[in-house]
Amino acid sequence: MNTRTHPLLVAFAVLTFLFLVGPLVIIIGTSLSDTAFLTFPPEGLTLHWYQNIFEISAFRRTIMTSFALAVGGTAISMMIGVPAAYALARYRVELPKFLGNVYVLPILIPEIVLGFSLMKSVAIGAGLPIMTSLLLGHALLVLPYCVRVVGASLNAFDFSIEDAAVSLGCPRWKAFFTIVLPNVKAGIIAGFILAFITSLNDVSVSIFLTGPGVSTLPIQLLAHMEQFFDPTIASVSVLLMFVTVGVMAIVERTLGLTFLTK
Amino acid sequence: MVPFRSSPRLRAWALSAPAILLVTCFLLLPVFSTLATTFGDPEGPFATYAAYFDSRLRMRVLWRTMEVAVITTVISVIIGFLTAWVVAKTPGRLKSLLIIAAVFPLLTGVVVRSFAWLIILGKNGILNDFLLWIGVITEPLSMLYTEGSVIVAMVYLFVPLMILTLVGVLEGIPQDMTDAAASLGAKPAAAFREVVLPMAVPGLIVGSVLVFTGSFTSYATPQLLGGERQMMMGTFLYQNAMVRFDWVAASTVAAIMVVVTLTTVLLMSRVARKLNPVAG
Amino acid sequence: MTVSLSLDAITAHYGTTKVLEDLSLHVGEGELVSLLGASGCGKTTTLRLVAGFLEPTAGTIMLGDRDLTRLPAHSRDIGLVFQTYALFPHLSVRDNVAFGLKQRGMGTAERHKRADDMIERVGLGHLADRYPANLSGGQRQRVALARALVIEPPLLMFDEPLSNLDAKLRVDMRVEIRRLQQANGTTALYVTHDQEEAFSISDRVAIMNAGRIMQLDTPEVLYSRPANAFVADFVGFENMIPMRVISEAGDAVRAEMEGGATLDFPKDKFTVPAQDFVLATRPEGLEVSTTDWGIPATLGLRTYLGRAYQYQCMTPAGELKANGPLTNPLEPGLHVNLVPQPEQCCLLPAETA
């Protein structure tokens, strides 16, 4: 309380935050530029590049694919991950200790190795359709967030409440949905959001699993950058930033931002 | 339902089964198959590795990746720690705002964030425009496709992660600790050196491991900002697999990546445990 | 070196909220004074002010002839024992205890020797190399004590030091704290919300409420002669009966309580302090009796206390608690009189609201 932060340190922090926010501001500026190549600051303003997103069919399609994939993959992962997290928290004695670490493997194994291996064994080896492989790959990729974040809420949950419900005559499965789930809602929302964003932004797994006719937005962006270097990319980026803003608004509303430093 | 009711053990495994199945079928088996491929060379189980370590080009990719990852980690730790220190001491609303400013880039995709540096560092990029304008240079510099450009973008990628991790760590150090140090006569600098810093070390290690493994295995950033010239392990794997269709070579790169990341994680978590008697 | 601590007219704020108002307190040389009160009464704030973690908005803090008021915390030379113990988790017991000596520039060998001596004194000689995480609550408490004592501070301060221990250990530790404090003759300020703890180890106790000291005196006086209704209530005078003097007849004062019942107070046994006053008693200070003097009451629920029976009694002045002898259990519904026992009653001036 009587220690004050050194002014040089404060200046340093200010610079850091300029460094963090600046590039994103530059993207926004570029997306509004009326020149056909990337410049900043823009010479004149136009919304042409935003219009472009919807005119280039590849962007239209991949935006749809990416959102479907993020929602679908996360939903699958939640359906699989929440019961697993529940079992870990509830049956500590019955399950081996290392099981918790098994679910975190998708983070521990380098993503690009995972993508490559999935392509080799699942997409080509087992001959699964592209969309199916992508869904499975993304469900796997986000499983750690579902298990861990929901698990953190479950660990804080007092299971005697569930036992109380059962002792009052509530069947076990019903107690799970009416007693346990509402109490770990925050964890489920947080897990869903983290998983959704991870899936939406994924490059390393998707790049191996996309194929003719089916691509995701980040992969399409990479491909587009290699051929054309126009502000459409910037406008798509701004679009993605809006998604981030939306996500952060949800986090703020439901959990508060302090959640993010824990 | 009847067998479920009879045994908690069975219930536990039944609930875990789908997740275990997912990880086994789509992670463990495929990754093991990738690793197994590398030992299948007719000239002996380790022939592919011998070839890798013999090749000057391939070793350069490995060393470059190591170098970039280490430099990125060191810079991120320094920037992250100093900034987190200020953020942790900032009161109320301003602190929330700073945390938003750190989280926002983190939730924005890797492609978007790497793209920003393409605009900034390009031949006709903002930085060149600016330098030309103030007259420091007369010809635009080629800053893209260098190790430096990759490192700058990677630091940009990982500093927010470091800040958030360390703000959590620093806030987790109770006020009582610094108060106790002061009551025992420690000046603010001594209290920082002898109490705050040692207590933050485990968190620093966790953050460093995240940054190191993240940058060691990254793909999009070296692809966009390093290109062919600054090939790194991630881009090298992709090139072997999808351009040259040499899956054995790609698998070898994959195996080395797995070994390096797992070794780092295991080693560092042991170090962290040693330095952190609280957990012991 | 024994010195006294003086707080003079201290006012303190948290933001715009006033938490202490014009508080003065003197702790004599070698004396142990407790600050006792519910949470939010300002006792911890007072301690943090003396420690230097907070700055007062007005007033001065003197330790001996040193003015502490604007001195940074690390220059105050006060041994402080925290409620959470605040042991450094990354340092062994020995290094925790030696920490303060290190800050004073003492060499390694010398400070380890002194730390070990102190660790021995608090009975943890065999644990010097352990880390705090591997100690029990009571052991941590001893380390915290050793760490505060080893710097030989002129003033020791305790912030609810025993509240994280179980009941048995609490009693042992407070005896230990008192013993060490007296052996060194160190002046001490002790903060607690536990009345028994404060009374058992203090020379004097300050009972605090809403940022002010309500009464500062020896435990004996506080226990038997509270100066006001707040303190009376705090030390267990469960019956508080507002009364008003209506007449003086010879050697007694007649007063009326709510509901119209009157009671005569013989002048040789009671001193009536004002026109409006409060008759405050513990349950054992009201005797259930069938004589005709006293507060008319109807007995209600009877509970067994081990040393007596306690009755919930309905009276014109509301529900009161009174004790009756074990030899004669009485049935609910009985009409009796409750007789105030002069040596266990206080007549307090009514609070001016």
**C285 DSSP assignment:** G
Query: Taking phi first (over 0 means left), then psi (-120 to 50 degrees means alpha), and beta for anything else, what does residue C249 get?
Result: beta
- What whole-number distance in Å separates Cα of residue B2 and Cα of residue B10? 11
**A167 DSSP assignment:** H
Phi (first) and psi of residue C263, to 5 degrees: -145, 135
From B184, B187, B275, residue closest to C99, measured CB to CB: B184
From B126, B238, B254, residue closest to A207, measured CB to CB: B238
pLDDT at A255 over 80: no
C295 has which bridge partners?
C338
pLDDT at B162 over 80: yes
B245 has which bridge partners?
none
* Domain identity same for C140 and C57: yes
* Domain identity same for C178 and C244: no
| Through-space distance between the first and last CA atoms of chain A, rounded to whole angstroms | 23
Binding partners of A (≥3 Cβ pairs within 8 A): B, C
Measure the CA dihedral A134/A137/A141/A147, to 10°.
110
Three-state helix/strand/coil letters over B188-228: HHHHHHHHHHHHHHHHHHHHHHHHHHHHHCCCHHHHHHHCC
Residue-averaged pLDDT of chain B: 91
Query: Comparing C287 with C32, which gets the higher pLDDT?
Result: C32
From B20, B96, B156, residue closest to A257, measured CB to CB: B96
Note whether residue B4 is domain-resident.
Answer: no
* Domain identity same for C220 and C250: no
User: C263: Cβ–Cβ under 8 A, 6 or more apart, which residues?
Assistant: C243, C254, C255, C256, C257, C279, C293, C294, C295, C340
- Average pLDDT, integer, range A166-188: 90
Q: How confident is the model at residue A2 (pLDDT cuts 50, 70, 90)?
A: very low
Identify whether the C-beta of residue C197 lies closer than 8 Å to the C-beta of residue C186. Answer: no
The string of pLDDT tens digits covering residues C43-60 is 999 999 999 999 999 999
**Inter-chain touch C131–B184, beta carbons under 8 Å:** no
Q: How confident is the model at residue B1 (pLDDT cuts 50, 70, 90)?
A: very low
- Within 13 Å and on the Cβ side, how many CA atoms surround B135? 0
pLDDT at B3 over 70: no
Note whether residue B185 is domain-resident.
Answer: yes
Closest by Cα among C208, C351, C160, C341 to C273: C351
- What whole-number distance in Å separates Cα of residue C316 and Cα of residue C295? 8
* Chain A residues closer than 8 Å to C55 by CB: 2
Per-residue confidence (pLDDT) for residue A225, from 0 to 100: 86
Q: How confident is the model at residue A182 (pLDDT cuts 50, 70, 90)?
A: very high
Note whether residue B14 is domain-resident.
Answer: no
Other beta carbons less than 10 A from residue C253's beta carbon? 21
Q: How confident is the model at residue C352 (pLDDT cuts 50, 70, 90)?
A: low
Nearest CA in chain A to C74: A2
Q: What is the CATH number of the domain that holds C273?
A: 2.40.50.140
Per-residue confidence (pLDDT) for residue A47, from 0 to 100: 86
Q: Which residues of C90-121 are buried (b: 16+ CB within 10 A; e: fewer)?
A: bbbbbbbbbbbbbbeebeeeebbebbbebbeb
- Model ipTM value: 0.91
pLDDT at A145 over 90: yes
A116 vs B: CB within 8 A: yes
- Secondary structure class of A44 (helix, strand, coil): coil
Q: What angle do CA B109, B112, B116 make, to 5 degrees?
A: 140
C278 has which bridge partners?
C242, C348
Amino acid at A43: E
The alpha-carbon gap from A70 to the nearest alpha carbon of chain C, in Å, equals 43
User: C202: Cβ–Cβ under 8 A, 6 or more apart, which residues?
Assistant: C32, C33, C34, C190, C219
Binding partners of C (≥3 Cβ pairs within 8 A): A, B
Distances (CA, A) of B132 to A30, B124, B137, C66: 19, 10, 5, 63
Domain boundary among C230, C249, C283: C230
Maximum pairwise Cα distance, chain C? 80
Domain boundary among C207, C230, C253: C230
The string of pLDDT tens digits covering residues A68-89 is 999 999 999 999 999 999 999 9
- Secondary structure class of A157 (helix, strand, coil): coil
Per-residue confidence (pLDDT) for residue B277, from 0 to 100: 56
Note whether residue B114 is domain-resident.
Answer: no
- What whole-number distance in Å separates Cα of residue C221 and Cα of residue A255? 53
Q: Which long-range contacts (CB under 8 A, 24 or more apart) does B2-5 make?
A: B4/A172, B5/A172
**C342 DSSP assignment:** G
Query: Comparing A46 with C208, which gets the higher pLDDT?
Result: C208
Domain boundary among C212, C230, C248: C230
Q: What is the DSSP pairing of strand C295-304 with strand C286-289? A: unpaired
- Average pLDDT, integer, range B231-238: 96
* Domain identity same for C262 and C161: no
**Inter-chain touch A140–B23, beta carbons under 8 Å:** yes
Identify whether the C-beta of residue C179 lies closer than 8 Å to the C-beta of residue C123. Answer: no
pLDDT at A65 over 80: yes
**Inter-chain touch C90–B278, beta carbons under 8 Å:** yes
Per-residue confidence (pLDDT) for residue C1, from 0 to 100: 64
C73 vs B: CB within 8 A: yes
Q: How confident is the model at residue A38 (pLDDT cuts 50, 70, 90)?
A: low
Identify whether the C-beta of residue C313 lies closer than 8 Å to the C-beta of residue C319. Answer: yes
* Chain A residues closer than 8 Å to C72 by CB: 2
- Average pLDDT, integer, range B254-270: 94
**Inter-chain touch A108–B118, beta carbons under 8 Å:** no
* Chain B residues closer than 8 Å to C86 by CB: 174, 176-177, 179-180
The string of pLDDT tens digits covering residues C74-120 is 999 999 999 999 999 999 999 999 999 999 999 999 999 999 999 99
From A20, A114, A118, residue closest to B105, measured CB to CB: A20
Identify whether the C-beta of residue B271 lies closer than 8 Å to the C-beta of residue B208. Answer: no
Query: Comparing B48 with A262, which gets the higher pLDDT?
Result: B48
Q: What is the DSSP pairing of strand C239-249 with strand C276-281? A: antiparallel
Count of positions (residues) in chain A: 262
**Inter-chain touch B185–C74, beta carbons under 8 Å:** yes
- What whole-number distance in Å separates Cα of residue C1 and Cα of residue C24? 23
Per-residue confidence (pLDDT) for residue B2, from 0 to 100: 46
Distances (CA, A) of C313 to C214, C304, C319, C321, C332: 30, 15, 6, 6, 9
Q: Which residue has the tokens 């054309």?
A: A228
Q: Which of B129-143, C199-213, C275-289 has the highest mean pLDDT?
A: C199-213
Per-residue confidence (pLDDT) for residue A1, from 0 to 100: 35
Helices (H), chain B: 2-6, 8-23, 29-37, 47-54, 56-89, 92-107, 110-121, 126-134, 147-171, 175-183, 188-191, 197-216, 220-221, 233-238, 247-275
* Domain identity same for C161 and C265: no
Query: Taking phi first (over 0 means left), then psi (-120 to 50 degrees means alpha), and beta for anything else, what does residue C138 get?
Result: alpha
Residue-averaged pLDDT of chain C: 92
- Average pLDDT, integer, range B255-265: 96
- Average pLDDT, integer, range C313-322: 91
Identify whether the C-beta of residue C293 lies closer than 8 Å to the C-beta of residue C340. Answer: no
pLDDT at B202 over 90: no
Q: Can you read off the two tokens belonging to residue A134?
A: 């992508």
Note whether residue B242 is domain-resident.
Answer: yes
**Inter-chain touch C72–A2, beta carbons under 8 Å:** yes
Closest by Cα among C91, C80, C165 to B176: C80
Other beta carbons less than 10 A from residue A163's beta carbon? 13
Q: How confident is the model at residue C16 (pLDDT cuts 50, 70, 90)?
A: confident
The alpha-carbon gap from B174 to the nearest alpha carbon of chain C, in Å, equals 8
User: A63: Cβ–Cβ under 8 A, 6 or more apart, which residues?
Assistant: A53, A217, A239
**Inter-chain touch B183–C75, beta carbons under 8 Å:** no
* Domain identity same for C40 and C86: yes
From B183, B185, B190, residue closest to C51, measured CB to CB: B183
Amino acid at B109: G
- What whole-number distance in Å separates Cα of residue C164 and Cα of residue C84? 8
- What whole-number distance in Å separates Cα of residue B117 and Cα of residue B125? 9
Structural element, H or E, at residue C184: helix C167-184
Per-residue confidence (pLDDT) for residue B5, from 0 to 100: 54
Amino acid at B132: L
Residue-averaged pLDDT of chain A: 89
Note whether residue B24 is domain-resident.
Answer: no
Nearest CA in chain C to A1: C53
Per-residue confidence (pLDDT) for residue A37, from 0 to 100: 66
A113 vs B: CB within 8 A: yes
- Average pLDDT, integer, range C169-184: 92
Binding partners of B (≥3 Cβ pairs within 8 A): A, C
Identify whether the C-beta of residue B218 lies closer than 8 Å to the C-beta of residue B71. Answer: no
Mutate to test the interface with C, among B179, B184, B197, B276 (most CBs of C within 10 A): B184
* Domain identity same for C108 and C91: yes
pLDDT at A262 over 60: no
User: B194: Cβ–Cβ under 8 A, 6 or more apart, which residues?
Assistant: B181, B186, C99, C102
Q: Which of B130-134, C19-23, C255-259, C342-346 has the highest mean pLDDT?
A: C19-23
B227 vs A: CB within 8 A: no
**C91 DSSP assignment:** S
Query: Comparing C317 with A17, which gets the higher pLDDT?
Result: A17
C14 vs B: CB within 8 A: no
In terms of Cβ atoms closer than 10 Å to its own Cβ (0-12, 13-18, 19+), residue B204 is: buried
Q: What is the DSSP pairing of strand C32-36 with strand C212-217? A: unpaired
B140 vs A: CB within 8 A: no
Nearest CA in chain C to B272: C90
Q: What is the CATH number of the domain that holds B92?
A: 1.10.3720.10
Domains in chain B: how many in total?
1
- Secondary structure class of C237 (helix, strand, coil): coil
- What whole-number distance in Å separates Cα of residue A239 and Cα of residue A247? 13
| Through-space distance between the first and last CA atoms of chain C, rounded to whole angstroms | 46
The string of pLDDT tens digits covering residues C111-156 is 999 999 999 999 999 999 999 999 999 999 999 999 999 999 999 9
User: C238: Cβ–Cβ under 8 A, 6 or more apart, which residues?
Assistant: C281, C282, C283, C321
- Average pLDDT, integer, range C18-40: 94
C17 has which bridge partners?
C14
pLDDT at A43 over 90: no
Mutate to test the interface with A, among B126, B133, B144, B269 (most CBs of A within 10 A): B126
Amino acid at B62: L
Note whether residue B196 is domain-resident.
Answer: yes
Please tell me the least confidently modeled range out of A53-67, B139-153, C257-271, C299-313: C257-271
- What whole-number distance in Å separates Cα of residue C185 and Cα of residue C27? 13
Q: How confident is the model at residue C353 (pLDDT cuts 50, 70, 90)?
A: very low
- Average pLDDT, integer, range A231-252: 88
The alpha-carbon gap from C45 to the nearest alpha carbon of chain A, in Å, equals 14
- What whole-number distance in Å separates Cα of residue B148 and Cα of residue B129? 19
Domains in chain C: how many in total?
2
**Inter-chain touch C73–B280, beta carbons under 8 Å:** no
B174 vs A: CB within 8 A: no
* Domain identity same for C222 and C202: yes
* Domain identity same for C148 and C45: yes
Q: How confident is the model at residue C37 (pLDDT cuts 50, 70, 90)?
A: very high
Task: Give residue ranges of B with CB < 8 Å to any C CB.
Answer: 174, 176-177, 179-188, 190-191, 194-195, 198-199, 201, 275-280
Per-residue confidence (pLDDT) for residue B133, from 0 to 100: 85
Q: Can you read off the two tokens belonging to residue C45?
A: 């704030």
Could you list the residue range(s) of the whole structural domain that residue B66 is in?
48-99+147-275
* Domain identity same for C202 and C258: no
- Average pLDDT, integer, range C211-238: 93
Q: How confident is the model at residue C270 (pLDDT cuts 50, 70, 90)?
A: confident
* Domain identity same for C290 and C273: yes
Note whether residue B198 is domain-resident.
Answer: yes
Could you list the residue range(s) of the whole structural domain that residue C85 is in?
5-230
- What whole-number distance in Å separates Cα of residue A17 and Cα of residue A24? 11
* Domain identity same for C84 and C65: yes
Per-residue confidence (pLDDT) for residue B279, from 0 to 100: 43
C82 vs B: CB within 8 A: yes
C288 has which bridge partners?
C338
pLDDT at A189 over 80: yes
A87 vs B: CB within 8 A: yes
Nearest CA in chain C to B280: C133
The alpha-carbon gap from A170 to the nearest alpha carbon of chain B, in Å, equals 13
Chains A, C: CB contacts within 8 A come to 7
Per-residue confidence (pLDDT) for residue B228, from 0 to 100: 86
Nearest CA in chain A to B121: A23
